[in-house]
Amino acid sequence: MVSACVALVMAAGSGLRLGGELPKPYRELAGVPLLRRTVQALQACPQITLLPAVIGADQRALYEVAVAGLELPPPAIGGATRQDSVRRGLEALA
């Protein structure tokens, strides 16, 4: 039996391919930021016991607005590449 299950939410990218002024995680779909939709969907899974996010270094204010009112651990700050960001997220769990 698994006693803890972590879902590491990768939200550190810029989302340049999508276009627009905001990074993709903070863009809205029907008035709700994509990051918030993702977090709420994962929070609905009872097996997930920890839900940290990895965000870009300059995205803290956007992150706080997107997840306002949700109970989450502090986010980790991503790196220059997706690989760096995943590593930093995993290191933050340790």
What string of pLDDT tens digits covers the 94 residues of the chain? Answer: 557 899 999 999 888 788 888 999 999 999 999 999 999 999 999 999 999 999 999 999 999 999 999 999 999 999 999 999 999 999 999 8
Q: What is the pLDDT of residue 26?
A: 96
Residue in this structure with the two tokens 């989450």, named with its chain if needed: 72
Element (H, E) at 10: strand 9-11
pLDDT at 1: 56
**Cβ proximity of 23 and 60 under 8 Å:** no
Are β-strands 32-33 and 9-11 bridged in parallel, bridged antiparallel, or unpaired? unpaired
Residue 4: CB atoms within 10 Å = 8
Q: What is the pLDDT of residue 16?
A: 78
